[in-house]
Amino acid sequence: MSSSWLRRLRFGRSLAVGFLFLAIVLSMGHAAAPDGGFDEGTGNVSTVVTSAAPTITEFDIKNVTDNATRMGAQLDVNVTYWFWLRVNDDNNWSDVQNVWINLWFDGGNDTATYDAQGAGANYRLNLTYNNSGGDNTPAASEWSVSEGNFVYSNASSSVFVNTAPRDFSFRLAFTLNKQVRQANDPVNSGLLGYDDTNSWNAQVRAVDDERNLATVQTNALGVFFEFGVFQYTEVTISAPWLAGSIAPGANASTNTVNVTHISNRDYRVRIWFVGHLRSASNNTISVTNVKVLAAADSTDDVTVDTPFAGIGSANAIYLRGNATSNESHDALGNSQTTIVQLNIAVPLGTQTGTYVATVTIRVEQP
Amino acid sequence: MPRRTWRAHLGPCLLLLALVTSCLASSEPARAAVADLTIHMPGEAPLATAGGAPILVAGIWHEVSVNLSAAVGSVAINATLPGAPPEGIRTTYRWTWDAATGSWSDPLYDLFIRPDLSSADSLHLTFVVGLDAQALPGLWRFLVFEGSTLSAGFDVAVEAPVLSYGLSAADFDFQAEPFTATDLSSRPSGQYIRVTNQGNVPLRLAASFDVLQGELSIENPTDVAHVYHDAHYFVRLAASPRPPAIIEVRGVSRVEALYVVPSSGAATINPSVEGTFSLALRIGRSGYALRVVGNVVFQTLESIRADYGAIATWQVYISGEQNVSLTIEVSNGRLVGAFAGGQALSFPATLAVTGNTEMPVTVQVQADRPGAASVTFTIHLLTTGDTRTFTTTILVKGGPPALDPTSAFLWILGSIAAALVFGFVSVSQWRAHRIRRAGRVSNALGGRPKRGYNYRRRMRSQRRWNANGNRGKGKPSQSRGTRTTRFR
């Protein structure tokens, strides 16, 4: 064997030894990694019980009628649903201080948080559990509405014991008020975050006496809590518009009528005549002799006395909003009222009689 | 007041009280002829206050039924608001029935009774009557007379009319397959219209749609929204075959008060209310997103999932009334190819599309990078010039393993240590090589080469073997006792 081969052989042996060293060093590195370990020693037994944060293992919104989930679907306003919620605290329930069920409209921005949603009571809801007594037996009466336009029914709610005194389930009855913001039916609820724009998002938070905070925004499968809200409109009219006796050639104003309207998003309110005023003898007074009086309501969008140009929706007068823009949704209240008063001019030559007509008021959402 | 004087007045007071009580009692003698009186609006259940008094809504026709225990010749009902000054239609009414002529009348106003709807048999009378909408709300007193004799009296709560109508509606979203007849109901998805009458006036209800009138309908419709009642209605779609499209529908629900009593004034303007709701009919493949640009519809998947390194294959569909130019671009992935009609496409590709069929385009993308890839389709309408882009996201599952920070740090440390060891070994090898080379050079020059431990050990063993006359076993270079090895 030549010396050259011998040198190569020795070099190869050195290389192998180097690799062996490398393996040893890397093994040392892995052994030093913080993958667990133990200590041994002697001395007095001393135990510190750690404070465990509450755990929220279940949350859902369900129908009262058939207990079907509504998460990922739409809720109707003025209809009672249940929150289903399960919370555990390994330090026993007395350690739980508060539980919050937070619902908020994302406003078209999926990253909007509950705390950042500050539009008003129709945009952010908070049902709060307060363990004021620090007891181990939670009660439905300890839940209350702390924010938002919705109703919680203590009498219709229940608490179930899973493992006393630390693990409880809650069935909480709630009803959204009628102007709680409409929201789209979520179709994409997924695992990566709140991903349905213009929907409502939900989360549950719980905090214990040591301020350990637990927050849950997804179900067991990791799907984020999102839901929608039906669109809702309502009109309440207190009475018909009545005019007393009017001589031909004169005019008279009707009584004022309160038109209370409800809409859970931007809206328009308009009024029009279905037909002309007609008497039992089939005589008529054209609706062009009728006008909406601006002075009846200083808050509406009728700023001058406005006559009807004709019958039908094409000749409607907008009380709120106009043909191209909407009245903004009321973020705070549960209804609005527009006072409507009409003035009727009776043309000369009109036959005597009681003239009757029907007006239509439409509240519409874009 | 002295006690004796007070007692002296007590007797007359009690006597006066007894007289007044007897007078009041005699003004409404309890006669057996009128057993009871019921009030309700036509088609509605009777309403009553918490105290049990029947409710009558001003401005609305009511059926006021008088049940008799014996036949009588005539009956009259006087309705007044006690304590209020007589103000005509605001406080005072009278209705009569005459058995002999079978006639019904409103002697005060000749306006607030419906003889055509009122009825009588031997023991039951039904007056269809109403109060003007201006009648004052309050607890009225209805007195029933047989002839001129008062038979019975009843308290009736009169309320002002309130028309209140609420409309609640889901986001109706129907999906139909292209070019396929469809019969769908919103019931399975729980999407409904809820009509709420929260007023005290029954409402006539009607619903209509601005398009698809012949194909959309309300399931089990009713034409009356009853007082204090809500009802759920599902929507049914029976659609004929259609090409891919999104059809937006505006529904209108209209109510107006039923059984309205005409007013006696110059003009009465009765309200009706309309609410609107929206429906969308999406004619497209199940699971596909429909994108509309002009009169062209593009169907693609919102997202698909693919394993890391795999090739995702799916089809998109284009239909419409004009030819288009299609471009496909992929980011964070590799476009393997796109095919239409069995031909590979090169971009921009001109496609001839029609409204009668869907043109499928097969797309193949390799998920060769971790994370999400996106496929952008750009549609350019060749006739109108409109251009839109649509995106499909490919969610890539898996990828090259990633180290956590701790492991990465330790690997770096280990690598540095290994490099140092290699360096040390290399330097040692280099030095040994130089020394040996220097020894050979020295030996060649006559010098004595440096010998190592093993050499000296082998030489000692050789000498021992030679001294023993080669009696040992084996060769002296072979192992004897513990052997140490030096790295060379």
Per-residue pLDDT of chain B (488 residues; tens, 9 = 90+): 344 444 444 444 433 333 333 333 334 444 446 668 899 999 999 999 999 999 999 999 999 999 888 878 899 999 999 988 877 899 999 999 998 999 999 999 999 999 999 999 878 999 999 999 889 999 999 999 988 888 899 999 999 999 999 999 999 989 999 999 999 999 988 889 999 999 999 999 888 999 998 999 988 878 899 999 998 899 999 989 999 999 999 999 999 999 999 877 778 888 999 999 999 999 999 889 898 999 999 999 888 888 998 999 999 999 999 999 999 999 999 999 999 988 999 999 999 999 889 999 999 999 888 888 899 999 999 999 999 999 898 988 887 765 566 666 676 777 787 778 767 777 777 776 666 666 555 555 555 555 666 766 777 777 776 766 555 444 444 444 444 444 43
Tokens at A196, concatenated: 């349905």
Determine the residue of chain B that is closest to A4 in CA distance. B433
At residue A10, φ and ψ (nearest 5 deg) are: -65, -40
Domain endpoint, select from A180, A212, A229: A229
How many beta carbons lie within 10 A of that of residue B383, not counting itself? Answer: 13
Find, among B264, B86, B137, the residue nearest to A355 by Cα. Answer: B264
Q: Please, which residues 374-433 of chain B have a Cβ atom closer than 8 Å to chain A?
A: 406-407, 410-411, 413-414, 417-418, 421-422, 425-426, 428-429, 433
From B248's Cα to the closest Cα of chain A, the distance in A is: 12
Cross-chain Cβ contact B421/A18 below 8 Å: yes
Nearest to A77 among B168, B267, B488 (CB): B168
CA pair distance B167, A77, nearest whole angstrom? 10
The minimum CA-CA distance between B357 and chain A, rounded to whole Å, is 28
Identify whether residues A346 and A274 lie together within a single domain: yes
Domains B28-159 and B289-397 share a fold: yes
> Which residues in chain A (273-302) have CB-CB distances under 8 A to chain B?
274, 277, 280, 285, 290
Residue with tokens 């029976």: B238
Least confident range from A82-86, A200-204, B1-5: namely B1-5
A121: nearest Cα among A261, A265, A331: A331
Residue A11, min C-alpha distance to chain B (Å): 8
CA angle (B167 as vertex; B161, B173 as ends), nearest 5: 170
Chain A residues 81-110 with CB within 8 Å of chain B: none
Same domain, A79 and A204: yes
- Measured from the Cβ of residue B35, the count of other Cβ atoms closer than 10 Å reads 12
Residues A193 and A329 in one domain: no
Contact B273 A362 (CB under 8 A): yes
Same domain, yes or no: A225 and A202: yes
Q: Residues A16-43: what's their mean pLDDT?
A: 47
At B84 the pLDDT is 84
Q: Is residue A340 part of a domain?
A: yes
The residue of chain A nearest to residue B58, with distances taken between CA atoms, is: A239
Q: Can you list the alpha helix ranges (DSSP code H) found in B445-467?
A: 453-467
Q: Which CATH superfamily is domain B28-159 in?
A: Immunoglobulins (2.60.40.10)
> What H or E segment, with its residue span, contains residue A181?
none
Say if residue B348 is preceded by a cis peptide, omega within 30 of 0.
Answer: yes
Let me know the angle formed at the C-alpha of B299 by B295 and B304, rounded to the nearest 5 degrees.
160
Give the Cβ contact number of residue A3 at 10 Å: 9
The yes or no reply on domain B165-283 and CATH 2.60.40.10 is: yes
> Any chain A CB within 8 A of the CB of B274?
yes
Q: Please tell me whether residues A88 and A145 are part of one structural domain.
A: yes
Query: What are the chain B neighbours of A354 within 8 Å (beta carbons)?
Result: 262-268
8 A C-beta contact, residue B68 and residue B121: no
Q: Do A168 and A199 reside in the same domain of the chain? A: yes
Listed residue (B231, B203, B194, B234) closest to B218, CA to CA: B234
In chain B, what residues touch A68 (CB-CB under 8 Å)? 190
pLDDT for B72 equals 83
Measured CA distances, B180 to B174, B285, B361 (Å): 14, 11, 21
Q: What proportion of chain A, given as a percentage, has pLDDT over 70?
A: 87
Identify the residue among B201, B204, B256, B269 best suited for mutation to test binding to A, counting A beta carbons within 10 A and taking the highest: B269
Of the ranges A11-15, A155-159, A262-266, A306-310, which one carries the lowest mean pLDDT score? A11-15
Q: What is the pLDDT of residue A14?
A: 55
Contact call for residues B257 and B163 (beta carbons, < 8 A): yes
Q: What is the pLDDT of residue B342?
A: 87
A308 touches chain B (CB under 8 A): no
**What whole-number distance in Å separates Cα of residue A196 and Cα of residue B302?**
13
The DSSP symbol for A192 reads S
Residue A301 confidence class, pLDDT cut points 50, 70, 90: very high
**pLDDT at res. B442:** 53
Indicate if the pLDDT at residue A133 is higher than 50: yes
A-B CB pairs within 8 A amount to: 209
Q: How far is B114 from chain A (nearest CA, A)?
A: 15
Angle ∠(B251,B253,B254) on CA atoms, nearest 5:
140
For residue B265, list chain A residues with Cβ-Cβ distance below 8 A. Answer: 242-245, 354
Count Cα neighbours of A260 within 13 Å in the Cβ-side half-sphere. Answer: 16
Residues of A in contact with B167 (CB under 8 A): 232-234
Report the b/e string of A345-363 with b at 16+ CB within 10 A: bbeeebeebbbbbbbbbbb
CB atoms within 10 A of CB B344: 10
Domain ranges of chain B: 28-159, 165-283, 289-397, 437-488
Q: Check if A355 contacts B (Cβ < 8 Å).
A: yes
- Torsion, Cα B349 B351 B357 B362, to 10 degrees, reads -10
Alpha carbon separation from A215 to A55, A57, A255 (Å, rounded)? 8, 11, 56
Mean of all residue pLDDT scores within chain A = 89
A243 and A177, same domain (yes or no):
no
User: Could A78 and B171 be called an inter-chain contact, meaning their C-beta atoms sit closer than 8 Å?
Assistant: no
Tokens of A163: 């493992």
Q: Which tokens sit at A65?
A: 């009628």
The answer to whether residues A204 and A105 belong to one domain is yes
* Residue A155, min C-alpha distance to chain B (Å): 22
**Residue A296 pLDDT grade (very low, low, confident, very high; cuts 50, 70, 90):** very high
Please tell me the distance from the alpha carbon of residue B418 to that of residue B441, in angstroms, as a whole number: 34
Q: A195, A229, A263 — which closes off a domain?
A: A229
pLDDT at B85: 82
pLDDT of residue B482: 44
B233/A contact by beta carbon, under 8 A: no
CATH class of B289-397: mainly beta
A29, A233, A360 ranked by CB distance to B272: nearest: A360
8 Å CB contact of B164 and A234: yes
CA distance B260 to B204: 11
Separation of alpha carbons A183 and A110, rounded Å: 13
Which of A229, A258, A281 is where one domain is finished?
Answer: A229
Residue A19 forms part of a structural domain: no
Question: CATH number of the domain that A308 lies in?
Answer: 2.60.40
Cα dihedral sign, A309-A311-A313-A314: negative
Q: Which of A170-174, A348-352, B234-238 has the highest mean pLDDT?
A: A170-174
Q: Compute the distance between CA of residue A93 and CA of residue A162 in angstroms, rounded to an integer.
A: 12
Task: Give residue A40's pLDDT.
Answer: 47
Q: Is A257 within 8 Å of B407 when comparing Cβ atoms?
A: no
B315 touches chain A (CB under 8 A): no
Complex ipTM over 0.90: no
Cβ(A226)–Cβ(A76) under 8 Å? no
Chain B nearest-CA distance from A354, in A, is 4
Residues 6+ apart with CB under 8 A from A264: A77, A122, A178, A179, A180, A181, A182, A229, A231, A232, A233, A329
Number of structural domains found in chain A: 2
Q: Does A243 touch chain B (CB under 8 A)?
A: yes
Structural domain containing residue A73: 55-229
A238 and A285, same domain (yes or no): yes
Tell me which residue of A65, A54, A66, A69 sits closest to A221, measured CA to CA. Answer: A69
- Measured between alpha carbons, how far is B346 from B329 in angstroms, rounded to an integer? 11
Closest CA to A60 of A103, A13, A122, A7: A103
Q: Which residues of A touch B199 (CB under 8 A)?
A: 236
Residue B159 CA: distances (Å) to CA of A304, B54, B141, B162, B198:
34, 11, 14, 9, 14
Contact residues, B window 164-203, toward A, CB-based 8 Å cutoff: 164-171, 173, 190-191, 194, 196, 198-199
One domain for residues A245 and A220: no
Token readout for B233 is 């209605």
Mean pLDDT of A297-301: 95
Size (chain B), residues? 488
Scanning the structure block, which residue is given the tokens 């997202």?
B303
User: Residue B298 class from Cβ within 10 Å (0-12 exposed, 13-18 middle, 19+ buried)?
Assistant: buried
Q: Are residues A164 and A253 located together in one domain of the fold? A: no
Name the DSSP class of B189: T
What DSSP letter does each residue of B210-279 carry, written as one string?
SS-TTTEEESS--SEE-TTEEEEE-EEEEEPP--SEEEEEEEEEEEEESSBPPPSSSEEEEEEEEEEEEE
Angle of helix B405-444 relative to helix A3-32, nearest 10 degrees, comes to 160
Whole-prediction pTM value? 0.76
